[in-house]
Amino acid sequence: MNSALSPYFPEKRLFIQSGSSTRYLRLTPLSQFMSGAASLALVGWLAIATASVAIDFVGGSGTAPTVVLQEAYEARLEELAAERDQRASEARSAQTRFQTAMEQIGRQQTALLQSAERGRELTTALDLMRQRLHEAVGQRDAATVANDRLVAQMNEVSDRLSHESGADLAETLKTVTGALAEAVAVRDTARAERETLTQQVADLELRMKVNSERQDEMVDQLEQAVALSFGPLEKLISTANLDVDSLIETVRSGYSGQGGPVGDAVVSTRSFDDPALNSRFDKLMLDLDRMNLMRIAVEKIPYTMPLRSSYRFTSPFGRRWGRMHAGVDLAAPVGTPIFATADGLVVAAGRESGYGNVVRIRHEFGFETVYAHQSKIRVKVGQEVSRGVQIGDMGSTGRSTGSHLHYEVRVNGQPVNPMTYLEAAKDVF
């Protein structure tokens, strides 16, 4: 074997010198081969053992954090579901309060209009009473003139007493006495009517004052109700990065129809106006009109949840697995009703690649909503739908891992985060 190994492992000698003596150690080819094999075996065993320990360490330390992260993620999803249920309850309560406020505003507006009508009637009656009082004063003045004329006649009679006979004097006295009694009666009647009319005018003025105070109070209540309703609506639209004035003008242009027969012009019989109250009332009418236009605009923007039953939020808007997830995923059992989130027109209702059974609804102001993976579609293309109308049932069609709704909101064709609109409306609807 030494001869066979000598070409590869030539014999070596190691000289060891100590002091004055020198020795050497002979390394044969076989001993060199055996030492190298032993060294190689030792190195291989150390490498395998080290790799095994490292693999065990990495595998054991990586599993625990994954489990912890998964448990934390599931716990966070449960918290989000509980928070969503609470927000949904608060939204229903806020919607009830909003409807109650709108009903109260309607009743107060009707009462205010009725009060204004009663004020006009009282003003007309006051004008008539003033006219009658003016006539009574005229009658009183006429009676005073007649009385003065009779006094002059009596003075004239006194001057003629010494020249006329007894019979003529008696006749003259009788005539004068009758005329004087008639004048006194007319004067007393005019005075009584004047006092009565004066009292009636005072009563009417008091009633008008009370009515004016009631009008001020009702206007105050209406202004407060409008402020309470107008503020959240304006904040709702502003939170979604929408221009309030632009939306209102767009809605006004679509709701500006007028018509009907035109009657004769009516001239008001009011003798005076309250400029301050009229100014407040005009401003209130403008605010009510603005609030109504904002309410119409909000109906056309997807501010409500597409689901009314319990669900689980399973995936947010944004990048997922290296790709853009253009909506949010809401999981619930198969057949869960899906509702339109705003008024609009169905532009697609059928099967699409990846989306499965999908419904697309076009809304005002450049909005579009997408409802994907449905098990059943309940609308058709070209159909106009209102907010809250059922458009389909939840399913797992298309590229899906389970029953859920993929919900998108697009503005001018670009996907935006639906939670921006759903979160903005939680305090109003």
pLDDT, tens digit (0-9, with 9 covering 90-100), for 193-243: 778 878 877 777 777 777 777 777 777 767 666 666 666 666 667 666 677
Identify whether the C-beta of residue 363 lies closer than 8 Å to the C-beta of residue 376: no
pLDDT > 60? residue 62:
no
Distance CA 341, CA 344 (A): 9
* Higher pLDDT pick, 87 / 378: 378
**Token digits of residue 239:** 């939170």
Residue 255's contacts (CB-CB under 8 Å, 6 or more residues apart) are: 293, 296
In terms of phi and psi (left: phi > 0; alpha: psi -120 to 50; beta: otherwise), the region of 352 is beta
pLDDT at 226: 64
pLDDT at 247: 72
pLDDT, tens digit (0-9, with 9 covering 90-100), for 158-172: 666 556 555 565 676
For 176, the enclosing helix (H) or strand (E) is helix 166-239
Which residue has 């100014």 as its token pair? 279
pLDDT at 331: 94
Distance CA 152, CA 150 (A): 5
Exposure of 314 by Cβ count < 10 A (0-12 exposed, 13-18 middle, 19+ buried)?
middle
Distance CA 241, CA 234 (A): 11
What residue type is 359 in one-letter code? V
pLDDT > 50? residue 9:
yes
Exposure of 344 by Cβ count < 10 A (0-12 exposed, 13-18 middle, 19+ buried)?
buried
Distance CA 23, CA 32 (A): 19
Identify whether the C-beta of residue 358 lies closer than 8 Å to the C-beta of residue 379: no
- CA distances from residue 366 to 282, 301, 361, 415 in whole angstroms, order as listed: 33, 10, 11, 12
pLDDT at 64: 57
**Token digits of residue 153:** 């006649």
pLDDT at 272: 41
- Percent of the chain with pLDDT strictly greater than 70: 78
Mean pLDDT within 79-96: 78
Identify whether the C-beta of residue 355 lies closer than 8 Å to the C-beta of residue 372: yes
Mean pLDDT within 45-63: 72
Q: Provide the β-strand partners of residue 17.
A: 22
pLDDT, tens digit (0-9, with 9 covering 90-100), for 288-346: 777 778 778 777 888 888 998 999 999 899 887 778 888 999 999 999 999 999 999 99
Measured in degrees and rounded to the nearest 5, phi and psi for residue 359 equal -120, 130
- Helical packing angle, 275-299 and 29-160, nearest 10°: 150
Distance CA 359, CA 355 (A): 10
Which residue has 């909000």 as its token pair? 298
Distance CA 284, CA 222 (A): 8
Give me the torsion for CA of 348, 352, 356, 357, rounded to 10°.
20
Distance CA 423, CA 429 (A): 10
Distance CA 415, CA 413 (A): 7
Q: Give the highest mean pLDDT range of 39-48, 98-107, 176-185, 386-395.
A: 386-395
Q: How many CB atoms lie within 10 A of CB 12?
A: 13
pLDDT, tens digit (0-9, with 9 covering 90-100), for 253-292: 766 555 555 554 444 444 445 666 667 777 777 777 777 7
What is the value of pTM for the model shown?
A: 0.47
Distance CA 278, CA 212 (A): 11
The span from the first CA to the last CA of the chain, in angstroms, equals: 96
